[in-house]
Structures are given as C-alpha cells and as structure tokens.
C-alpha cells in the first residue's frame, strides 16, 4: 500500500498532466492566443502582488503598461509590474534564458539579455542508499534536502547554484514533477526575495523550451492566491509540498482554460451583435483590443483606433452587455470584455 503522501503526490501529478495538456492544446488552436497570454501576464502579476503583500489594482497595471497612468506609480506598482515585464521577456527568449544571467535579466538587474545558452550538463546518476536503490520520489526529496543546506548570501551565486541543481535533476522524472521540484527548490534557496516571481517564470519557460508546453507560458502566482498553503505551511513534509506545487500548476491551467472559454463566448456574442454593421466600422478592431487587454480605457481605445476619445466611448458603449464598465467612476473609466 502506498504512503498517503506519495499517493497524493502522484494523483496531483496525473491531474496536472491532464489540465496542462488540455490548456496547451487549446492555446495552439485559439484565434486570440496572444491576447489571452497578455491577459494571463497581468492576472499573474496581480496574483503575485496579493501573495507578496503588494496589493495593486489590475487596472493600474494595464494603464502603467500602456504608459497612461492615472496616478503617479508607487513602489508596489513598479514591483508588481516587474512580473509583467519578465513574462513578456520570457515569451520572446530562447534557451539562453536558462542561465543565471537570464534570471538576473528577468529581475531587471541586467540591461541586456544573455546571448549564449548555457552548456548542457550530464544528468547526475541516481543516488542509492546502503543496500537498496532509492526510488524516484525519495531521490527528489534527498536532492531537495541537499539543496536546502547549500544556501548562499550572494544573489548571483544563489541563482547559479539553483540553475545547476535543476539541470542535474533526474531526466526520468516527468517534466511537471521536475517543475514542482524546481519551484520548491527556488523557495528553499530564495535567491531574489524582492523578485520571487523569477523562479516560476524560468520554470514555465523551461517547460516551453523542452516541448512540454508549446503555445502557453504556464502561470503560478494567481493559483497560489486561490490555493491555500498545506496545513503546516512551509514546514509541511516535502512530498506534501511537491503535491502543493503540482496542484498550483493544475489550478493555473484550469483557470487559463476557463478564461479562454469565457473570452471565446464573449467574442461570439459581440461578433453576432456587430455582424451587420458597415465595413468601415471600427468595432472589430476594438474587439481585438478588448481581447488583448484585460481592461481598456477610452484613451487607450482612441489611441489604438486612431479616433477621438468621444468616438472611442461611443464604440465601447455600442458593444452591448458583453462589455462591462468596471472602474465605477466618472473619470479614467475602464471596461472589460
């Protein structure tokens, strides 16, 4: 009979494999995949801010990204927007991002991206206990415990240590299980406390580089907001912690699927409403902007369409009930699909 913690780990792995595969397959055929991915970036940043105690409105993040801030950006907004910038960079980067220089570039400590991919390492041979071979889960737990004893005060050295350690994880472990181990390892080392999101972005990028995901950059931070920590928090047993990270990946994929389905339904409703309009009408272009942004203001729509603000507001209100005004104020109003 399996140990309950081990059984829970592999049940969480099976669910994560299913949901991540369905999300990636759906993203490959989605006509507005880029807009959906941009939405996930902002949702992830908002979720990380909530977990880290930097509460920032989603509207402020979107306006800051468009350089149309309604107020002077504060430290919390700049820190949270760092995750949006990091995900933008990771989506365009290649294998050179899987290095300490790449991690520091994502964190904003380097002005130029790395240009050379790290040299491949040979996978470490599985360790063995006296008289018996260590199983996969036991080996991963052993490597995590070894990593927790190798912390350093220098951020660059700590990132490099984590990178080398991740590249030595056994190849026979499923990709998502390796991702969960890498996320837990990042938590143990904590090389960039003020940019703790970097580890999750690098792990998601590694999954994409390896081909486990092809059309999406998995999100972690928003799911961490919705999923409570294990009963004993950071002191929970290692297998429970790994199951927690797999549940985070699964929940993030489920949320991505739900958001894609909701956007597709709203898109079909709006297209049906504007289907009979004249050919020069800009409503379809406005719909593309609404699909690409979680929130849209009248100045943003006016700049995107090249029309006056009052014309943009008229087009926004003309899209019907599928468009919701979410700011609740008379100035700097914002709408979402």
**Which CATH number covers residue 288?**
1.10.10.10
CA–CA separation, 46 and 303 (whole Å): 25
Same domain flag for 151 and 300 = no
Distance CA 40, CA 252 (A): 10
Q: Is the pTM of this model over 0.75?
A: yes
- Do 162 and 105 sit in the same domain of this protein? yes
Q: Would 266 be classed as within a structural domain? A: no
Query: Is residue 208 domain-shared with residue 279, that is, in the same domain?
Result: no
pLDDT number for residue 183: 96
Is 267 domain-assigned? no
* Sole residue written with tokens 């904590």: 190
- Report the Cα–Cα distance between both ends of the chain, in Å, rounded: 50
Residues 196 and 307 in one domain: no
**What secondary structure does DSSP assign to 254-293, as a single string?**
HHHHHHHHHHHHHHHHHHHHHTTS-TT--HHHHHHHHHH-
**Contact, 32 vs 267, CB < 8 A?**
yes
Same domain for 226 and 119: yes
Residue among 151, 157, 155, 207 nearest 181 (CA): 207
| DSSP code string of 149-193 | T---S-HHHHHHHHHHHHHTS-TTS-HHHHHHHHHHHHHHH-S-G
SS3 per-residue string spanning 244-262: HHHHHHHHHHHHHHHHHHH
| 146 and 219 share one domain | yes
Q: What is the pLDDT of residue 210?
A: 93
Is there a domain that residue 67 lies in?
yes
Rounded CA-CA distance 181/183 in Å is 5
SS3 73: coil
Please give the Cα distance from 27 to 11 (Å, whole number): 25
Q: 305: domain range? A: 275-336
Co-location of 204 and 72 in the same domain: yes
Residue written as token pair 């003309």: 318
In this structure, are 172 and 36 located in the same domain?
A: yes
H or E stretch at 325: strand 324-325
10 Å CB burial of residue 20 (0-12, 13-18, 19+) is buried
pLDDT tens digits, the chain, 337 residues: what are they? 567 888 889 999 999 999 999 999 999 999 899 889 999 999 999 999 999 888 888 888 888 888 877 778 899 999 999 999 999 999 999 999 999 999 999 999 887 888 776 766 554 444 444 333 348 888 888 888 888 654 567 888 889 999 999 999 998 899 999 999 999 999 999 899 999 999 999 999 999 999 999 999 999 999 998 898 887 666 678 899 999 999 999 999 999 999 999 999 999 988 888 877 776 778 888 888 899 888 888 888 898 888 888 888 888 888 877 788 776 666 667 888 8
Residue closest to 210 by CA, chosen among 105, 95, 103, 126:
95
Residues 167 and 40 in one domain: yes
* CA–CA separation, 123 and 171 (whole Å): 7
How far out from the chain centre does Cα 64 lie?
A: 19
Strand 334-336 to 296-297 pairing = antiparallel
Pairing mode, strands 334-336 and 324-325: antiparallel
Same domain, yes or no: 317 and 222: no
Q: Look at the block and give the residue holding tokens 């979402």.
A: 336
How many Cα atoms within 13 Å fall on the side-chain side of residue 130?
Answer: 0
Question: How many distinct structural domains can be found in the chain?
Answer: 2
């Amino acid at each position: 009979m399996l140990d309950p913690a081990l059984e829970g780990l592999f049940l969480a792995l099976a669910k994560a494999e299913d949901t991540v595969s369905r999300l990636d397959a759906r993203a490959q055929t989605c006509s507005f995949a880029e807009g959906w991915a941009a939405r996930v970036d902002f949702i992830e940043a908002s979720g990380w801010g909530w977990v880290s105690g930097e509460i920032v409105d989603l509207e402020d993040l979107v306006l800051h990204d468009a350089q149309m801030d309604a107020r002077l950006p504060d430290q919390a907004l700049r820190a949270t927007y760092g995750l949006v910038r990091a995900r933008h960079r990771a989506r365009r980067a290649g294998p050179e991002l899987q290095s300490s220089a790449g991690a520091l570039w994502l964190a904003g400590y380097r002005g130029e991206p790395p240009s050379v991919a790290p040299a491949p390492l040979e996978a470490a041979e599985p360790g063995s206990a006296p008289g018996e071979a260590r199983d996969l889960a036991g080996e991963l737990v052993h490597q995590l415990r070894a990593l927790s004893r190798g912390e350093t005060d220098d951020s660059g050295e700590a990132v490099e240590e984590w990178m080398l350690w991740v590249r030595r994880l056994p190849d026979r472990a499923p990709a998502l299980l390796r991702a969960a181990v890498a996320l837990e390892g990042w938590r143990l080392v904590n090389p960039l406390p003020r940019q703790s999101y970097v580890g999750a972005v690098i792990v998601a990028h590694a999954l994409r580089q390896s081909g486990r995901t092809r059309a999406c950059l998995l999100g972690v931070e928003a799911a961490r907001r919705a999923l409570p920590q294990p009963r004993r928090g950071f002191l929970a047993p290692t297998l429970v912690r790994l199951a927690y990270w797999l549940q985070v990946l699964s929940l993030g994929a489920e949320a991505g699927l739900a958001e894609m389905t909701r956007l597709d339904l709203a898109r079909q409703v709006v297209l049906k409403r504007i289907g009979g309009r004249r050919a020069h009408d800009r409503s379809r272009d406005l719909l593309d902007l609404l699909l690409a942004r979680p929130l849209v203001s009248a100045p943003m729509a006016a700049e995107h369409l090249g029309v006056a603000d009052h014309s943009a507001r008229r087009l926004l209100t003309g899209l019907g009930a599928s468009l919701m005004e979410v700011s609740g104020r008379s100035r700097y109003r914002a709408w979402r699909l």
